[in-house]
Structure formats: structure tokens, C-alpha cells
């Protein structure tokens, strides 16, 4: 663990790089038991494992195959949960979707934020948790204000905080 780069901060991480436990504590507002959960951009699986530990059936999705390989290693040798990791978006609905600190990696100006959120809302049966950097990483390429982003996302703001590594963040909760 000491020689491994862990962006998500697990209990066994040598150095804290991310606010993983804070984000989990912020979104842990529901009963996860028997929920079908999709963790988009799961990275090393921190939130996938947490939801699984709390009784959810979880699909952790990431396009980065190296991240998925590390997540699988953590699952096989350390945390030992039953998470199904994949690299393509499943074509089904889920009770809960986690979209945590993902959007800025695919759309740094938030130009497609509205359409992305709309598509996600169509895929959920109960809850959607979203974490976004505020303002977008490249505000010079975006005319969106934080209020604009709040209106696009909708739902309830659970937290606004300064991330350990990068930017101010906001966590939203949308219930259907």
C-alpha cells in the first residue's frame, strides 16, 4: 500500500489524496440495502465498495481499464465485496447512480452538463448523487455560473467543500 498511488483514500491508503470518506458520509443518506447501484467513473471503487458493504448490488463503471484492474485487485485481495466492474455504460435503469467527480473529466467547461444530467435522470429509479467542481475547471471557456449549474442539476445541495487536491466541490442529491 505504501508504494501504490491511491487517489481515492481507503483506510489502508498511506497518504490522503481525496476526501472519499467525507463524500461517502455526505451521500450516505439512504438505505443502500437491496438497491441496484451504478457508480459511474468508479476509479478504484471506493464508493462501489461502500455501497456494497451497506447491502447494495453494485456495478462500478470506468473507461480507464487500469483503474478497473486496481479496483478488481482491491476487491480480490483486500475488501472482498461483490462489485461487478465494467468499462461500458450498462443499458438498464438503476435505483441509485453515483456520478461523483466525473463530469469535469469529460466536459471541463460543462457545455454538455444539462444533457448529461438529463440522461442520468432517465436511468434512475430513486436517487442520483452528483459531485461537481465549482466553477467548471476552465471557466474562461464557460459562461455558466454556480447558480446556473444549480438550476441545471436541480435537487438538493448536500455539501459545498474545498477538495484536498483540486477545487471547490458541490454534492447534489436528486430523488425521483
Is the C-alpha dihedral spanning 86, 88, 90, 94 positive or negative?
positive
Is the pLDDT at 1 greater than 60, yes or no? Answer: no
Instruction: Give per-residue pLDDT as tens, 91-121.
Output: 999 999 999 999 988 998 899 999 999 999 9
pLDDT at site 159: 97
Specify the pTM. Answer: 0.91
Q: What pLDDT was estimated at residue 11?
A: 63
Rounded to an integer, what distance in angstroms lies between the CA atom of residue 176 and that of residue 65?
Answer: 32
pLDDT of residue 77: 86
Out of 1-15, 59-73, 113-127, pick the least confident: 1-15
- Measured CA to CA, the distance from residue 69 to residue 164 in angstroms comes to 25
- Distances from the Cα of 74 to the Cα of 26, 60, 165, angstroms: 23, 13, 23
**CA–CA distance, 46 with 36 (Å, rounded to integer):** 16
pLDDT at 163: 84
DSSP class of residue 141? G
Would you give the end-to-end CA distance of the chain in angstroms?
A: 40
| Cβ partners under 8 Å of residue 120, min gap 6 | 40, 97, 99, 128, 130
| pLDDT value for 59 | 98
Give tens-digit pLDDT for 10-38: 666 566 667 888 999 999 999 999 999 99
Write out the three cell numbers for 170. Answer: 458541490
pLDDT, one tens digit per residue, over 145-163 is 889 999 999 999 999 999 8
> Where would I find the H helices in 1-102?
20-27, 46-53, 65-74
Amino acid at each position: 500500500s505504501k508504494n501504490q498511488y491511491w487517489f481515492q483514500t481507503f483506510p489502508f491508503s498511506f497518504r490522503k489524496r481525496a476526501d472519499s470518506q467525507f463524500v461517502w458520509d455526505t451521500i450516505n443518506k439512504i438505505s443502500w440495502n437491496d438497491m441496484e447501484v451504478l457508480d459511474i467513473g468508479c476509479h478504484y471503487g471506493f464508493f462501489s465498495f461502500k455501497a456494497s458493504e451497506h447491502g447494495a448490488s453494485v456495478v462500478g463503471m470506468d473507461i480507464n481499464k487500469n483503474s478497473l484492474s486496481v479496483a478488481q485487485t482491491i476487491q480480490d485481495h483486500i475488501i472482498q465485496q461483490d462489485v461487478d466492474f465494467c468499462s461500458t455504460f450498462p443499458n438498464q435503469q438503476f435505483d441509485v447512480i453515483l456520478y461523483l467527480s466525473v463530469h469535469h473529466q469529460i466536459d471541463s467547461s460543462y457545455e454538455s452538463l444539462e444533457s448529461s444530467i438529463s440522461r442520468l435522470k432517465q436511468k434512475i429509479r430513486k436517487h442520483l448523487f452528483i459531485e461537481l467542481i465549482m466553477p467548471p475547471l476552465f471557466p474562461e471557456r464557460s459562461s455558466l455560473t454556480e447558480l446556473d449549474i444549480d438550476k441545471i442539476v436541480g435537487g438538493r445541495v448536500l455539501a459545498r467543500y474545498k477538495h484536498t487536491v483540486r477545487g471547490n466541490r458541490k454534492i447534489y442529491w436528486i430523488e425521483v
